[in-house]
Amino acid sequence: MAGEGNDSINVVNTLFLVLTPIAAIAGLWYHITQFGVTWVEPVLFVIWYFACGLSITVGYHRLFSHRSHEASWPLRLFYALFGAGAFENSAFNWCADHRLHHRHTDTPEDPYSASRGFWWSHILWVMIDEGGERIHDLDQVKDLQEDPILRFQHKFYLLLAVGVGMFLPALIGGLISGVPGAVGGFVWAGLARTVFTHHGTFLINSAAHIWGTQPYGDANSSKDSPILAFLTFGEGYHNFHHTFQADYRNGHRWYHFDPSKWWIKAFALIGLKQSLKSTPDWHIEDKRRQASFENAASKANADDSEDLTRLQERMKAARSNFKSQSRALDKLLAERRAVRKERQAARRQELEDAIAKLRDDIATIRAEFAQIMSDLTAFKPTAA
Ligand SMILES: [Zn+2]
Ligand SMILES: [Zn+2]
């Protein structure tokens, strides 16, 4: 986003990012030595860490930036308040940057392009104004500007950030245990928590574009990392996320550690969220197979490029069959659910047979996938 003029340091952002860790350490030292720690401070820390963290990962990210589901107004208000308390800018500004990040990943138009190195994508992009000014392209978030809650948050961002992120935990701490609790709430749930929330988010822009695997392709630098998912409310499955942006999950399997997904799912069960978007399993499988084929093909030492071309054609045919049969299966499964409700026994038997047949076909295609991969690795293609 380089404009005219020279780059300059964003004084407010830089001071904030440098001073919060220093103030947090000094504050913790002061609080612990002056008052000692009771149950109040760690509890406030954990509550604020989750409230602000999830407001970023579920609210700012999966809901506002990607519209992966719908949420009713009490939840949107919660995300707006505690998202402000994360001190990561208003939802408009955050989402505008994030949508550009997805649209132009790794290019100069990506505000936190990982191709500019760890420190740029981690924190320097917040501290340096390219071309001497900070631009949040609000044209990216015209849809969000319809939401009065988010307009309100944008207008009073600073007040809300300080109020919810710093003052509120101090107030609650004070109400529970007087001055020690007030200082503790401010230092633990305000200052120290802000530092943790910041660097958790920042790691997604830096580490999740550097370390990990790329099961869904290397079209951009995004990586999957279960360790990072553990530190970031599930956002570490970043290669999956860049591949299937609209999916409300980042860790798509039930055992993937993704508290943001569980949060969304839990509120869906009690009716406060709806229209959860998720990618069909076969679509994910297709992408993963395609990526591992391309990865192996790029490593295969093809003496005979005709052999490789033949394998590529087999792969293309297998994928196309796999997709059409999987789509057909989805349709039949949906019909079976409808028929079950209407208790049509005859039609139901027909459906069961057709479903079994499709499942056989798909198993055969999977065997062909496996054969293609082993031919590719051995590079002794069989006759087509
Ligand atoms: Zn995203
Ligand atoms: Zn990314």
**Pair 101, 121: CB distance under 8 Å:** no
Instruction: Look up the pTM and report it.
Output: 0.91
- Chain CA centroid to CA 120, Å: 20
CA 281 to centroid of ligand 1, rounded, Å: 20
d(CA 232, CA 241): 14
- Check whether residue 269 and residue 186 sit in a common domain: yes
CA 100 to centroid of ligand 1, rounded, Å: 10
- Residue that terminates a domain, selected from 248, 274, 300: 274
Contacts of 69 (CB under 8 A, 6+ apart): 62, 63, 248, 264, 268, 273, 274, 275, 276, 277
pLDDT at 331: 94
pLDDT at 384: 43
**Pair 53, 86: CB distance under 8 Å:** yes
Per-residue pLDDT band for 380 (boundaries 50, 70, 90) equals low
CA 102 to centroid of ligand 2, rounded, Å: 7
CA 252 to centroid of ligand 1, rounded, Å: 15
Structure tokens at 149: 């809650």
d(CA 267, CA 75): 9
- Answer whether residue 3 is part of any domain: no
DSSP 186: I
CA 65 to centroid of ligand 1, rounded, Å: 7
CA 26 to centroid of ligand 2, rounded, Å: 33
Structure tokens at 4: 């005219």
CA 210 to centroid of ligand 2, rounded, Å: 10
What total of structural domains would you count in the chain?
2
- Check whether residue 63 and residue 38 sit in a common domain: yes
Structure tokens at 125: 């992009």
CA 231 to centroid of ligand 2, rounded, Å: 16
> 295 lies in which domain range?
281-378
CA 305 to centroid of ligand 2, rounded, Å: 35
- Residue that terminates a domain, selected from 236, 259, 274: 274
Q: Which one of the ligands is nearest to 58 CA?
A: 1
- Check whether residue 192 and residue 112 sit in a common domain: yes
**Pair 276, 71: CB distance under 8 Å:** no
- Residue that terminates a domain, selected from 274, 307, 324: 274
d(CA 363, CA 357): 10
**Pair 326, 320: CB distance under 8 Å:** no
What CATH number is given to the structural domain containing 291?
Answer: 1.20.81
- Answer whether residue 1 is part of any domain: no
Q: Which one of the ligands is nearest to 61 CA?
A: 1
Q: What is the pLDDT of residues 314-373, one digit of tens each?
A: 999 999 999 999 999 999 999 988 887 777 778 888 899 999 999 999 999 999 999 999
Report the chain's terminal Cα–Cα distance, integer Å: 50
- Check whether residue 66 and residue 161 sit in a common domain: yes
Q: Which one of the ligands is nearest to 104 CA?
A: 2
| Percent of the chain scoring above 90 in pLDDT | 83
- Is residue 289's pLDDT more than 50? yes
Q: What is the pLDDT of residues 31-90, one digit of tens each?
A: 999 999 999 999 999 999 999 999 999 999 999 999 999 999 999 999 999 999 999 999
- Check whether residue 17 and residue 123 sit in a common domain: yes
Q: What is the mean pLDDT of residues 193-203?
A: 97
- Answer whether residue 384 is part of any domain: no
CA 207 to centroid of ligand 2, rounded, Å: 10
**Pair 109, 95: CB distance under 8 Å:** no
